């Protein structure tokens, strides 16, 4: 019997007002900036020929708004809390540079009143198990955030969290926004 493969195209929401002001949004409901709105509309044009069976979005405002602008009514959109950004706890609404510095130190240790990146990984493993049960061999679009995307690199690509942070395009001087990542997941490998 052939192993089923789940195809995920992962998108990070458009730029927010918080991003532009250097604020760490975490679980806060940051609004898309004018640039973020333009990015989401541009993304719609970039993926116009791609077919998705379903679109999952973080339930945070910036991801939902990006999803609506990008996908419109092309595919059913389902909001899922497991796709939220890492909860920065007391650092939510604070200096994004401080959170960037602390991030690699919060792999197993939680942000005060928040969560660790291992917590994000646990959420993403649960999400992938859900997809494997309910959407095997489907093409799934995900609109989410940085933390869950790094967790996918850990889960699917076998990176360590330290590797994921070190190789993160955001830390390599590429500030801004990217139009997406492709993940192919053999369902038998999801643990």
pLDDT in tens, 62-74: 999 999 999 998 8
pLDDT tens digits, one per residue of 28-70: 999 999 999 999 999 999 999 999 999 999 999 999 999 999 9
Domains of the chain: 5-189 (3.40.50.1240)
**Residue of higher predicted confidence among 153 and 169:** 153
The strands making up 139-144's β-sheet, listed across from edge to edge, are 77-79, 54-57, 139-144, 5-12, 181-186
The pTM of the whole model exceeds 0.85 = yes
Closest of 67, 64, 184 to residue 136, by C-alpha: 184
């Amino acid at each position: 019997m052939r192993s089923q493969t789940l195809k995920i195209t992962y998108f990070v929401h458009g730029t927010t007002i918080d991003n532009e002001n250097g604020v760490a949004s975490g679980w806060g409901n940051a609004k898309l900036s004018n640039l973020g709105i333009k990015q989401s509309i541009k993304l719609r044009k970039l993926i116009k020929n791609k077919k998705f069976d379903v679109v999952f979005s973080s339930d945070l405002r910036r991801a939902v708004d990006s999803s609506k602008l990008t996908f419109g009514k092309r595919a059913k959109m389902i909001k899922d809390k497991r796709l939220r950004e890492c909860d920065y706890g007391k650092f939510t609404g604070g200096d994004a540079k401080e959170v960037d510095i602390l991030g690699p130190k919060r792999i197993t240790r939680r942000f005060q009143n928040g969560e660790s990146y291992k917590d994000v990984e646990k959420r993403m493993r649960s999400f992938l198990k859900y997809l494997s049960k309910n959407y095997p061999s489907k093409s799934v679009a995900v609109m989410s955030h940085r933390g869950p995307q790094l967790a996918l690199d850990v889960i699917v690509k076998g990176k360590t969290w330290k590797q994921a942070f070190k190789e993160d395009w955001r830390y390599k001087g590429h500030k801004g926004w990217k139009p997406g990542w492709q993940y192919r997941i053999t369902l038998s490998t999801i643990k």
